[in-house]
Structure 1
């Protein structure tokens, strides 16, 4: 077999720290060795336009809806001044660039380093793929829609976009859970047989199948409608029409949002908190008793750093996604907030915060290695 020379990956300090951080945290051998352990191996409704979803009881013909004067005035609050559009475009554009770029670098580092092709790193690559989908296929198109209050991509991609929204987020969250469980088994139960690569691939496939099943209602219920203003202007709305009504009046969607919140937020928070708590307790409990040598003290410091980093991962996930899930639940009980004066800016902030969760992982790896 011809040996292919690996491209250099340590020419910049950032890449050097990043590759070492990934290697130290996610490489089975390196991670467990640093801990003194022997071998044993970023919701809610996808309707990102809830703050200006139309009430589908207007005068409607086919896929067209004629708005009254009062309803047209309500729509006008969503037309941003140019400087605000430029500002939000810069904020979201930066987030997409950093998230996609950072996660592509992570994938490249893993795939171009043979020693890093470990079981756990398969999960890492899957997480980065899901995060790239979140930051590109999800954010870009929904942001354009939110910014202009108009869906220019057609009904087919309306269905696809809403499907990808939940698919990518769920896959990212489920992969985070899988990583935490893998670390738990490796550290708390080091003598148990390690997960094989075949089993890892099967779990990754199950993650995507489960995520697809969870997102299936979005591709079924997504529709577009053309709203026509009395001055002749039109806009296209991409929305979810459930069997018992449109979004803000649908009991089915409320139940669906509760399920999404439980499965992609509450359950992952509980799972990761438990596994990382057990990991932390195992690490703190493994400290040397009595006088410590310099090497032992260094090992203890390394363990403390890893425990803190694990808690930061969980905290970042919780902080990023909490406002997003709360917003959709509140919007069902208090639909008047959808027409509040500054709801568009509020929602854009909440949406940016949730989607920005896909940015932080590469920086966490780098930060961990630099301390």
Structure 2
């Protein structure tokens, strides 16, 4: 709604306070979405590697969500300093919510851009990828252990049990692989345009 209204009016019509507040809210949503995906991946990581620690898992999940909200708020609050309403020097009565002259030097602006890009994209992408790769490796290792522990020649019931457990692990491995590729690919591709533009901006100002 913010973007639609902003594009429709072209100018900023709701004053300096809402310029700062709404830009903080917009950034907060972006940071929080990335942080929640990180929490989900970490929670699944612990659920697969340490499946018997349910009481700890519930407490850990709540703590991770609190940290996700707190980190998103902390990362988005600088938007209230960066953005402010300014009047157009040539068009009378035209005001816009901008970030012009918010930094003392280009280095500070580049550093802030790199921080935002890392916090929103690169760090979550690395954490999500590592967690799901570890989950897949753990399921694969469990499948190999099941084959090694069960002898080739055993009773019919034992063979059926081994085959049943193997099918479950194979199914879990396939699902985990699909889930890993899907989640990482969707996250990476959805954020790629923003990351590309931000990196282009950083490269342009460095050179």
2:155 corresponding residue in structure 1? none
Contact 1:186-1:194 at 8 Å conserved across structures: no
CA deviation map 1:123-179 (0-9, x unaligned): xxxxxxxxxxxxxxxxx2123324553222322111012111221111111121111
CA deviation map 1:96-132 (0-9, x unaligned): xxxxxxxxxxxxxxxxxxxxxxxxxxxxxxxxxxxxx
| CA–CA separation in structure 2 for the residues paired with 1:184 and 1:324 | 28
- How far does residue 197 in structure 1 lie from its aligned partner after superposition? 3.8
| CA–CA separation in structure 1 for the residues paired with 2:4 and 2:70 | 26
Q: How does 1:48-67 map to 2 (within 5 A)?
A: none
- Say which of 173, 176, 192 aligns to 1:322: 192
2:95 corresponding residue in structure 1? 236
| CA–CA separation in structure 1 for the residues paired with 2:37 and 2:109 | 26
Q: Does 1:162 align with 2:32?
A: no
2:119 corresponding residue in structure 1? 263
- How far does residue 328 in structure 1 lie from its aligned partner after superposition? 2.3
Q: How does 1:203-218 map to 2 (within 5 A)?
A: 203-218=64-79
| CA–CA separation in structure 1 for the residues paired with 2:20 and 2:121 | 23
Local SS of the residue matching 1:224: strand
| CA–CA separation in structure 2 for the residues paired with 1:271 and 1:157 | 34
1:253 corresponding residue in structure 2? 109
Count of paired positions: 190
2:156 corresponding residue in structure 1? none
1:307 corresponding residue in structure 2? 177
| CA–CA separation in structure 1 for the residues paired with 2:165 and 2:103 | 65
After superposition, the Cα gap between the structure-2 partners of 1:145 and 1:251, relative to the gap in structure 1 and judged at 3 Å, is farther
After superposition, the Cα gap between the structure-2 partners of 1:295 and 1:280, relative to the gap in structure 1 and judged at 3 Å, is closer
After superposition, the Cα gap between the structure-2 partners of 1:203 and 1:305, relative to the gap in structure 1 and judged at 3 Å, is closer
Q: How does 1:86-125 map to 2 (within 5 A)?
A: none
* Coordinate RMSD, CA, aligned: 2.7
Q: How does 1:345-356 map to 2 (within 5 A)?
A: none
After superposition, the Cα gap between the structure-2 partners of 1:196 and 1:183, relative to the gap in structure 1 and judged at 3 Å, is closer
Q: How does 1:1-371 map to 2 (within 5 A)?
A: 140-192=1-53, 194-195=55-56, 197-227=58-88, 234-240=93-99, 241-244=101-104, 250-287=106-143, 288-289=146-147, 293=163, 296-297=166-167, 299-334=169-204
Contact 1:273-1:314 at 8 Å conserved across structures: yes
Contact 2:19-2:85 at 8 Å conserved across structures: yes
After superposition, the Cα gap between the structure-2 partners of 1:146 and 1:329, relative to the gap in structure 1 and judged at 3 Å, is farther
Task: Choose between structure 1 and 2 for higher RCO, CA contacts under 8 A separated by at least 6 residues.
Answer: 1
Relative to the length of structure 1, the TM-score reads 0.46
- How far does residue 334 in structure 1 lie from its aligned partner after superposition? 3.7
Moved more, 187-196 or 160-169: 187-196
CA deviation map 1:16-50 (0-9, x unaligned): xxxxxxxxxxxxxxxxxxxxxxxxxxxxxxxxxxx
Greater fraction of residues in helix: 2
After superposition, the Cα gap between the structure-2 partners of 1:170 and 1:302, relative to the gap in structure 1 and judged at 3 Å, is same
Contact 1:177-1:272 at 8 Å conserved across structures: yes
